[in-house]
Amino acid sequence: MKRNKFIQITENIWEIPTDFKPGMRVPARVLSSGELIDGIDDRVIDQITNVACLPGIRRYALCMPDGHVGYGFPIGGVAAFSVDEGIISPGGIGFDINCGIRLLRTNLTYDEIKPKQEQLLDELFRTVPSGVGSSGYLKLNNDQFRQIMQQGVNWCRENGYAGYHDVEHIENRGCLENADASVVSKKAISRGINQMGTLGSGNHYLEVEIADPKNIYDKATARRFGINLDNQVMVSVHCGSRGFGHQIATDYLQVFDKYSKQYGLDVRDRELMSAPIKSEEGKRYFQAMACAANAAFVNRQLIVHGIRKAFRKIFSASEADLGIETVYDVAHNIAKFEEYEIDGRRETLLVHRKGATRSFGPGRAEIPEDYRDVGQPVIVGGSMESGSALLCGTTVADHETFGSSLHGAGRTMSRMKAKKIMRGDALQDKLRQKGILVKTGYIRGLAEEAGYAYKNIDMVVDAVDNIGISRKVARFYPILNIKG
Amino acid sequence: MPFELTDQYTCADIGMLVSGTNINILFSDAAAGLTSIMVEPDNLEERKRFKVTLDADDVEGLFFNWLSEIIYFKDAERFFPKRCEFEYLDGNGKKLAATLHGDIADPERHILKTDVKAVTYYRFKVEKVDGLWKAEVVLDI
């Protein structure tokens, strides 16, 4: 691969010019630290430069520092398309539509929960179903599920599963407005209707974490986000739209495959199948994707409801005393219409984020009022050994990355290889010795998510902080983990 | 080995290579391979069955739909096939009618493993080479 063509723009930004590959309409930009650029797979470069060939793309095809090989777009890929000339692509969003992370704060400290942490882990494992074939605690009928698709978390609020602050502290207030249930297949509904409130499997998790004061980098912003106690207990949940979203992506990938053949569209990678944003097929996919995004917001909210129940039971305390509140909820597999300045004029673009988090800076109307003067919380998931990170959005992201930042540590080792290095039960013991209790329905699969299978979260977080597209607020270390 | 699972294509997901001397074997072994990622197959019994009828423009489309159907049954019915009985699978691979014999997920009896979200088109290929059917597919985990 012609890496000598890469141009280093700043310490952490590398540009791949349009003459790197025939058909590139814009340059690609890989965000990385100097150390990490060498570790970026050739296939990631191939994928992000394929994205740069798509019609209507604006400025750059971007890859975040946690980028790794995906389908169509790399994971960590961001691209924005003109509404008039551009496309929408399921390969730029991912099969798990609105996979994302919810971060909760509590009024509890580590010392207060330590004596009961084993019981808490068992109770969380019971209240939040995980793994293959699991069903949620709600038995929904088709009407209720249609409301969930179209109303998102407002449905939870109306039915007693969400509080006012939950709704306010979710990206898009937990509801994408363009959702239209009539463009969703019966198959998608059948796959998802029994799964609301479940974690799923793979890299999805529920984690109880601690905010150690020595890992708070910006105390004022941390306080604004509800982190105001030494060794405060935090909870994070990583999951998405479950089988419902997976089926919508599958359905529309096939629709777009046919469309591409019919219109003779030249796509380098079949997973980059797409349709013009203004085409009927493109509009329908956007509406269906919005349904899945709304279902994912609801899924995480119903999990939060289960978490609150588990804490109430174990600590025999009221909701007010426990203070389990949503810090924020971010979507990291999604496409949204947003406005940016392109060549000196404001333009509405369809921003695809696949394994990338929105990172809006201070002042944006889309940010909850109580965070608006500091910026949007950006939640970054790590491995079960490293815990997660909390960052804050910046205006630099608006200019550099279409208001986007990283989403996780970034996988570097295959699941099969990770399992060969250590047995699941041995990893569980090792983590216990480090003070991290892990529970899973499939112990042999535990090593797939071991810390050694991921990039160093601190390095990728430092990279985005250096670039300026998010700034560090806090790091949390894990104590309890449920691996889906 | 009727199927081979591989990590050579992506690090986050699982690739599967399948081959068969006829198209029925290819489809049947691919179903077994996919199921083995989600559940330990040895403990599955034939307690339930579902009929499947599918069509597509070509054999690749039919193979894609076939695997997608098995993923669908995992979520919608919590069902895993143990054996596939083909009533009809034409030589061009455009139409299929089959009965899936298998089991409903039960954590007491089964070792439930990893969820498969979808079949992808990444490196997706079904072809007949020197009389042998071969397929290559990456499954999203």
Residues A169-198: pLDDT tens digits? 999 999 999 999 999 999 999 999 999 999
Sign of torsion, CA B29 B35 B40 B41?
A: negative
* pLDDT for residue A101: 98
Q: Is B1 helix (H, G, I), strand (E, B) or coil?
A: coil
Q: Is it the case that residue A71 has pLDDT exceeding 80? A: yes
The answer to whether the beta carbons of residues A252 and A212 sit under 8 Å apart is no
Contact B141 A202 (CB under 8 A): yes
- Asked if A212 is an interface residue toward chain B (Cβ–Cβ < 8 A), one would say no
Mean pLDDT value across chain A: 95
Closest CA to A28 of A66, A71, A78, A65: A78
* pLDDT for residue A34: 64
What region, left, alpha or beta, does residue A102 occupy, with left being phi > 0 and alpha being psi -120 to 50 degrees? beta
Calculate what percentage of chain A has a pLDDT beyond 70: 99
* pLDDT for residue B1: 67
Nearest by CB to residue B72, choosing from A69, A187, A201, is A187
Instruction: Give mean pLDDT, residues A346-358.
Output: 98
**Residue extents of the structural domains in chain A:** 3-95+336-370
Residues B53-88: pLDDT tens digits? 999 999 999 999 999 999 999 999 999 999 999 999
* pLDDT for residue B17: 97
Contact B107 A441 (CB under 8 A): yes
* pLDDT for residue A269: 85
The answer to whether the beta carbons of residues B107 and B37 sit under 8 Å apart is no
Q: Shortest Cα distance from A207 to chain B (angstroms)?
A: 19
Q: Is it the case that residue B128 has pLDDT exceeding 80? A: yes
Contact A415 B141 (CB under 8 A): yes
Q: What is the DSSP letter of A57?
A: B
Residues A459-481: pLDDT tens digits? 999 999 999 999 999 999 999 99
Look up residue A157 and give its two tokens: 């609020």
Q: Tell me the C-alpha to C-alpha distance, in Å, between residue A131 and each of A41, A98, A101, A446.
A: 30, 19, 18, 12
Confidence band of A332 (pLDDT split at 50, 70, 90) = very high
Residues of A in contact with B118 (CB under 8 A): 95, 246, 249-250
Q: What is the DSSP letter of A418?
A: H
Confidence band of A23 (pLDDT split at 50, 70, 90) = very high
Closest CA to B63 of B140, B133, B141: B133
Look up residue A174 and give its two tokens: 């937990």
- Asked if B111 is an interface residue toward chain A (Cβ–Cβ < 8 A), one would say yes
The residue that leads in pLDDT, A37 or B59, is B59
Which domains are assigned to chain B?
3-140 (3.55.10.10)
Chain A interface, mutation test: which of B120, B136, B138, most A Cβ atoms within 10 Å? B120
Q: Is it the case that residue B11 has pLDDT exceeding 90? A: no
- Asked if A242 is an interface residue toward chain B (Cβ–Cβ < 8 A), one would say yes
- Count of A-B CB contacts under 8 Å: 119
The answer to whether the beta carbons of residues A470 and A411 sit under 8 Å apart is no
Q: How far apart are CA A287 and CA A254, in angstroms?
A: 16
* Catalytic (active site) residue A407: yes
- Asked if A131 is an interface residue toward chain B (Cβ–Cβ < 8 A), one would say yes
* pLDDT for residue A35: 65
Residues A419-432: pLDDT tens digits? 999 999 999 999 99
Confidence band of A36 (pLDDT split at 50, 70, 90) = low
- Residues with Cβ within 8 Å of residue A478, at least 6 apart in sequence: A207, A208, A209, A210, A384, A385, A386, A387, A436
Look up residue A23 and give its two tokens: 């058909």
Classify strands B3-6 and A470-475 as parallel, antiparallel or unpaired.
unpaired
Closest CA to A351 of A61, A75, A95: A61
CA-based nearest residue in chain B for residue A75: B12
Instruction: Give mean pLDDT, residues A306-316.
Output: 98
Alpha helix positions (H), A225-379? 242-263, 280-315, 319-322
